[in-house]
């Protein structure tokens, strides 16, 4: 059973001890557990546990959010190389910071969690135009566009999520591609996501991954 490893891994993540978490994973491999076991029984449940903790405590430590995501992403990527056959990804998301926004931490947390949940992530970086979001989503056959904005003017700009929504409408893509948003302005105004034309929003980077997975499943039932 992986129980002892799960407890040790979760403790390392809680303490933001990346090397400690990797040591637990390596020991589990040495003791005969498969890479598939590591991802599906250790890493993914740890991410889901952090999501649960954050729902109970919205002010949970940001460092824990970030390290949970980074550790999960790093371990998952290492384990995927060792899988007996490539896992089936549940979907694809195009993610980036809105046009005019240079903040990257939030989307890095989201990306890390998504990778551990078997979602293919295409990270466009910061200062991304609405056209680039939509064009990339179409080219890469992504089910979700995720736009991060840390400032009110980048969240509400016509060149940000509003521009993405306009292009999706114009091109008849609203049933194939969903739009998710996140960042500080949405925490201050929980109804803001509706005003900027998004399908959903999340209050933090970790729970954003769950929101995005739910949107993927709407498109790919």
pLDDT tens, residue by residue, 99-135: 999 888 778 888 888 988 899 999 999 999 999 999 9
* pTM as predicted: 0.82
Least confident of 77-91, 116-130, 137-151, 178-192: 77-91
User: What is the Cα–Cα distance from 80 to 38, expressed in whole angstroms?
Assistant: 10
DSSP one-letter code for 204: S
Domain 1-81 = CATH 2.120.10.30? no
Per-residue pLDDT of 151-166, as tens digits, reads 999 999 999 999 999 9
CA distances 202 to 35, 44, 52, 59, 212, Å, are 30, 19, 14, 14, 9
Residues of the chain with CATH 3.40.50.280: 91-219
Strands, sheet with 178-182, edge to edge from the N-terminal-most edge strand: 119-123, 91-97, 144-148, 178-182, 200-202
Fold exhibited by the domain 91-219: Rossmann fold (3.40.50)
- Beta-carbon contacts of 142 under 8 Å, excluding residues fewer than 6 positions away, are 91, 92, 93, 94, 122, 136, 177
User: What is the Cα–Cα distance from 124 to 192, expressed in whole angstroms?
Assistant: 23
Residues of the chain with CATH 1.10.1240.10: 1-81
Q: Using the CB atoms, write b or e for 97-112: b if 16+ within 10 Å.
A: bbbbbebbebbbbbbb
pLDDT band of 185, cuts 50, 70, 90? very high
């Amino acid at each position: 059973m992986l129980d002892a490893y799960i407890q040790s891994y979760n403790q390392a993540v809680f303490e933001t001890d990346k090397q400690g978490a990797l040591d637990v994973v390596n020991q589990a491999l040495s003791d005969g557990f498969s890479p598939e076991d590591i991802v599906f029984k250790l890493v993914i449940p740890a991410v889901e546990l952090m999501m649960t903790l954050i729902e109970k405590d919205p002010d949970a430590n940001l460092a824990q959010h970030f390290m949970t995501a980074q550790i999960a992403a790093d371990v998952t990527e290492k384990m995927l190389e060792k899988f007996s056959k490539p896992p089936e990804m549940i979907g694809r998301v195009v993610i980036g910071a809105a046009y005019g926004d240079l903040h990257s931490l939030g989307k890095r947390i989201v990306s890390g969690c998504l990778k551990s949940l078997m979602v293919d992530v295409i990270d466009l970086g910061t200062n991304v135009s609405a056209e680039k979001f939509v064009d990339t989503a179409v080219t890469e056959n992504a089910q979700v566009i995720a736009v991060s904005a840390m400032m009110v003017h980048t969240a509400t700009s016509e060149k940000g999520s509003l521009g993405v929504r306009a292009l999706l409408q114009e091109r008849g893509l609203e049933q194939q591609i969903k739009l998710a948003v996140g960042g500080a302005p949405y925490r201050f105004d929980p109804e803001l996501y509706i005003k900027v034309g998004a399908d959903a929003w999340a209050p933090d980077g970790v729970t954003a991954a769950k929101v995005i997975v739910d949107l993927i499943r709407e498109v790919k039932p």
